[in-house]
Amino acid sequence: MNNEMILDLMKSRRSVRQFKQTPIPADQIENCINVARLAPSAKNIQPLEYLYIDEKEKVDAVFPFCKWAGYIDPKGNPEKDKTPVAYLFVLVNKNHIESDFFKYDVGAANENFIISALSYGIGSCWLLSINRPKLRELLNIPEHYNIDSAIALGYSDEKHVVVETEHDIKYWKDDDKTFFVPKRKVLNVYHKNKIEIK
């Protein structure tokens, strides 16, 4: 894969909320988790662990405990036949943390995982609005793990359009169910040698 292909892959990443019901090969997920574990870790403590759920009964049971596209709820939620086919739960082993620096570990590892998954064509949605107490009980997650977040997974079944913006960052869907995602222009976020008010 050349540089342009890698950059195009990274630029194509969008949060997916409508999924095809095609199973994901387990070896691909394992490869993605391997890439996630190699991400930077503060003091190299490596407190992150991962719980992958792809059994349909468990996946269906997880769904009610996740919130989706807040700006356009419920229009942005997965439709009944387009829900995730798997979830990756990102866990922080409390026996291996010294500070809250693990939050940076999560960001780096999750992005590694998400981009790796996308290289296989697997779409994802990183979810922070989840019911952690209910999920802990449902999935029998021991108390020495913090449940940081979940990543919903499956092959995308929706169209995304990136819209450059200077102000309004609220995403929307049109009548054809195309998801429009505003992103700040590069010239509004890039400063060279000095900060310029834009």
Digit-coded pLDDT (tens) for 152-176 = 999 999 999 999 998 889 999 999 9
The string of pLDDT tens digits covering residues 81-124 is 999 999 999 999 999 888 899 999 999 999 999 999 999 999 99
Paired with 198 in beta bridges are none
| Fold category of 159-198 in CATH | putative fmn-dependent nitroreductase like fold (2.20.180)
The Cα 13–Cα 105 span in angstroms is 20
pLDDT score for 18: 97
pLDDT-derived band at 66, boundaries 50, 70, 90: very high
- Pairing assessment for the beta strands 179-184 and 160-165 based on DSSP bridges: parallel
Mean pLDDT of 4-24: 96
Helices H, strands E: what count in the chain?
A: 6, 7
How is domain 3-158 classified at the architecture level of CATH?
A: 3-Layer(aba) Sandwich (3.40)
Percentage of the chain with pLDDT > 90?
Answer: 88
pLDDT score for 121: 98
What contacts 57, CB < 8 A, 6 or more positions away?
none
The Cα 46–Cα 97 span in angstroms is 8
Q: Are 114 and 35 in contact (CB under 8 A)?
A: no
Domain edges within the chain: 3-158, 159-198
